[in-house]
Structures are given as C-alpha cells and as structure tokens.
Amino acid sequence: MPLTLSERALSISPSVTLAVDTQAKKLRAEGLDVIPFAAGEPDFCTPEYINDAGKFAIDAGITRYTPAVGTLDLRTKICEKFHRDNGLEYNPSDIIVSNGAKQVLFTALSCLVNPGDEVLIPSPCWVSYPEMVRMAGGTPVLVHGCEENNFVVTADMLAPHVTEHTKALILNSPNNPNGCIWTRADLQAIADLAVEKGFYVISDEVYEKLIYDNEEHVCIASLGDAIKEQTVVVNGVSKSYAMTGWRIGYAGGPRKVIKAMASFQSHASSNANSIAQYAAATALSCGDVYIKSMIQEYDVRRKLMHRMLNEIDGLSAQLPKGAFYMMMNLTKVIGRSYKGTVIDGSTKFAELLLNEKRVAVVPGLGFGDDNFARLSYATSRSNIVEGCKRIGCFVNSLD
Ligand SMILES: Cc1ncc(COP(=O)(O)O)c(C=O)c1O
C-alpha cells in the first residue's frame, strides 16, 4: 500500500487567516512592529471573576472527566441563557458543550451531511465553513452577497440554489467577515424557505453579543416551532467573554441531532475541559456588564477605522453592524502596481502590505471575495490610527 495521505486530508486548504498570522508572527519575532489587523479574537483579557472561577475549579478538584456532552450545571446555565437572550426553551438534554464553537460546527456537519449533500453558505463567509462541509463529505454551495445590500443573502437569493440535495444552510449573524446582521424579516423568510423545502439551519451566533447602534439580534430558531425543530443554534464564550483560549462552545437543537452529536463527540474528543466548563458557567450566569464595556470600546474603534479607511483615496469600507471585522473594498487598487509588482488580487495586496508596511490584513479570497481584505478592529485605537496611516501611505504610493 503506498504511504499516501487520505483524499480527505489532501482536499483541505490551509486556513488563510492562520497563514497571515504565521507570517505576521515571524516578522514580529524579527523585532518588527506589525499592526495586527488580521486577528480573529478580542484583545481584551478574560474578566477576572471568570479567571477566579477557573482557579477555584482547579483548587476544588473539578479536574476529572465530565459527561461527554458537558456538565449538567453548564448545560442548565446554557438553557437559561437561551431562554433569557433568545426566547428559546431547551432542556439540558437538548444541549451539547464542545471544545469551542468550531468543534460544535464540525460535529453538527458530520452528523447531518452525507456524501453528495449540499450545504448552502452565504458568502463572503468564515474560512472554515466550506472546508468543514468538505471534511464532512458534503459540497459547499456559496451564495454571494453584495456590498450594496450590506452582504446580506436573502431567502430570494438562496431559493434558486436549493436542490433536492440541499441538506443544510449555515447562517452567521452577526457575520464574520463583514459584520452584517440579518433582520427579523430576512430570517423569517429564510425560516419559511427552510421549512418548506426541508433543510437544516446551522445558526452560528458566536458574535451575538457584539452588535452596535441598537441593532437587534434575532435567533432564527425563535421564529416558530417548525424552524426550531430543524435548527442547531451554535454559540460560545470565546468572543463574548474574551475566552478564546478556554475553548468552550455549545449548541442547542433538536434532541435527535444533539444525541447523534453527543455519540460522535464521545468517540472523537469526550468532554470539553472541566475547568473551562466551570468558568464558562460563571461567565453565562454573572450578567453582561463586562460585555457592555467591551462593546463601547469596539464601537469607538469601529467608527475610527471606518472613517480613516474611507479617507484613503482608492479604498472604501462599509460601517459594520456587528462583530469586530470590516471589509475593505480593494476594487480600485487591484490592477495597480507597487514598485513594478502588479496587485492582481487581495492576496498580493495583503502580502505587499505586510512585507512593505507591516500591516497584517486577511485577503478576502479566503472568505470568498477577492475584491476585499478583512480587517479586525479588535486592537487598540493607537494601532488603528497607525495601521490606517500605513495603509494610506501604501495606497498613495501605487502606480
Ligand atoms: C464565525 C465564527 N464561528 C465560530 C468561530 C469559532 O469560535 P470558537 O473559538 O468558539 O471555536 C469563529 C472564530 O473565529 C468564527 O469567526
């Protein structure tokens, strides 16, 4: 037998976000001051009371295996959260806790998708969705949104892509990479389509708490019993509570789906970290005061970055409604050149910007749109000012 890798492994593209991050870290290790606009995580520290809960868990010996689906205490707190924030009624048996929302998503897709099944994904989209669908043996079907409509992909846009093979739709509101939010009306139309045509919705709501200007976050599963019965609602503590390293994500969904996910996870990884589960239960049950202060700061940064980018001749960006990312429109700089090198797309733009001006951004190609780059404003105001100045300087020097 030849010592080959599996076809599945060979079909997976490495994450572009991680590639930029690796190069940025390399430059930083060489002592260069790289502006980190590529990061996908809060720059805030985990709140102290949550850290204290983690320390308590260690000292109290909460360091053993837990049920594979998560502790009853955490799943009860998650049910309370779904009730409080989303108007959803779940029982702890309808809940699964995993190593981050990422594992929840992968497990859900692995339990729902058969080879040949299609999964609809509004795009631009988070880099991992198409790869996860492929890893589960399915076919990602990207449905493109456009900047003029704030990137929101509506039911009317999805409908022509629904076939007899459509098994699921992955929704992500508020959205990474563009910060758009689906309205209640948008979601109602999508729910009606999903119920009529019979496909699952995997609703990734990890940025739920990070919304601005009194926008409303609506969970599609709250729009009726029928859609709730075919929706897996995915969330986590990484983004809301600045707990990316703790690796706690969770889902609520139809019992038969959660049960299948529990069996899958019991063989793949067992339970998420017991200490982190204890800390996450504290995070979910101690109010959102900390989150509010984070949002206020993100809001200032969002407006600052938006203003500075739009002041650069040749670039533009829309004001995002949620999350902490902004899509920078590169249409007018693609085709121009830097010291003889033609910028033929977002990858070359990001590469030159990083190597020449030490600003790390993620090429839009990885998210499904080569005319954009994604910038994260989960970084200090001074970094935003300096980074935007460097971007302006770079663009002004193009031929
Ligand atoms: C849209 C989206 N979903 C899920 C995740 C994963 O979150 P977690 O840290 O809970 O695995 C991310 C992280 O970047 C994300 O952007």
What amino acid is encoded at 244 in this protein? T
Determine the Cα–Cα distance for residues 167 and 113; give it in Å rounded to an integer. 7
Distance from the CA of 260 to the center of ligand 1, in angstroms?
22
Asked if residue 329 has its Cβ within 6 Å of ligand 1, the reply is: no
- Domains and their CATH numbers in the chain: 7-45+290-396 (3.90.1150.10), 63-285 (3.40.640.10)
Instruction: Give CA–CA dist 76/56, Å, rounded.
Output: 20
User: Cβ-count burial of 146 within 10 angstroms (0-12 exposed, 13-18 middle, 19+ buried)?
Assistant: exposed
pTM of the model: 0.95
Alpha-carbon distance of 17 to 27, in angstroms, equals 16
**CB of 94 sitting under 6 A from ligand 1:** no
Q: How far is the CA of 101 from the centre of ligand 1 (A)?
A: 6
β-bridge partners, 376:
325
Distance CA 157, CA 94 (A): 31
pLDDT for residue 39: 83
Whether residue 364 has its Cβ less than 6 Å from ligand 1: no
Q: Is 126 in the pocket of ligand 1 (CB under 6 A)?
A: yes
pLDDT value of residue 1:
86
Give the whole-angstrom CA distance, residue 225 versus residue 333: 48
Decide whether any atom of ligand 1 lies within 6 Å of the 204 Cβ: yes
Report the atom number in ligand 1 closest to the C-alpha of 175. Answer: 1
Sheet with 372-376, edge to edge strand ranges: 316-317, 325-329, 372-376, 362-363
172 in contact with ligand 1, CB cutoff 6 A? yes
* Secondary structure in 3-state letters for the chain: CCCCCCHHHHCCCCCHHHHHHHHHHHHHHCCCCCEECCCCCCCCCCCHHHHHHHHHHHHCCCCCCCCCCCCHHHHHHHHHHHHHHHCCCCCHHHEEEECHHHHHHHHHHHHHCCCCCEEEEEECCCCHHHHHHHHCCCEEEEEECCHHHCCCCCHHHHHHHCCCCEEEEEEECCCCCCCCCCCHHHHHHHHHHHHHHCCEEEEECCCCCCECCCCCCCCHHHHCHHHHCCEEEEEECCCCCCCHHHCCEEEECCHHHHHHHHHHHHHHCCCCCHHHHHHHHHHHHCCCHHHHHHHHHHHHHHHHHHHHHHCCCCCEECCCCECCEEEEECCCCECEEECCEECCCHHHHHHHHHHHHCEECEEHHHHCCCCEEEEECCCCHHHHHHHHHHHHHHHHCCC
Q: What is the pLDDT of residue 25?
A: 85
Q: How would you write the pLDDT of the chain (399 residues) with one tens digit per residue?
A: 889 998 888 888 777 777 787 888 888 899 999 999 998 889 999 999 999 999 999 999 999 999 999 999 999 999 999 999 999 999 999 999 999 999 999 999 999 999 999 999 999 999 999 999 999 999 999 999 989 889 999 999 999 999 999 999 999 999 999 999 999 999 999 999 999 999 999 999 999 999 999 999 999 999 999 999 999 999 999 999 999 999 999 999 999 999 999 999 999 999 999 999 999 999 999 988 889 999 999 999 999 999 999 999 999 999 999 999 999 999 999 999 999 999 999 999 999 999 999 999 999 998 989 999 999 999 999 999 999 999 999 999 998
The per-residue pLDDT for 21 is 78
Point out the ligand 1 atom lying closest to the alpha carbon of residue 204: 3
Ligand 1 touching residue 124 (CB < 6 A): no
In angstroms, the CA 271 to CA 354 distance is: 39
> Does the C-beta of 138 come closer than 6 Å to ligand 1?
no
- What spacing in Å lies between the alpha carbon of 3 and ligand 1's midpoint? 34
Q: What is the pLDDT of residue 7?
A: 86
Residues 134 and 187: their CA atoms lie apart, in Å, by 26
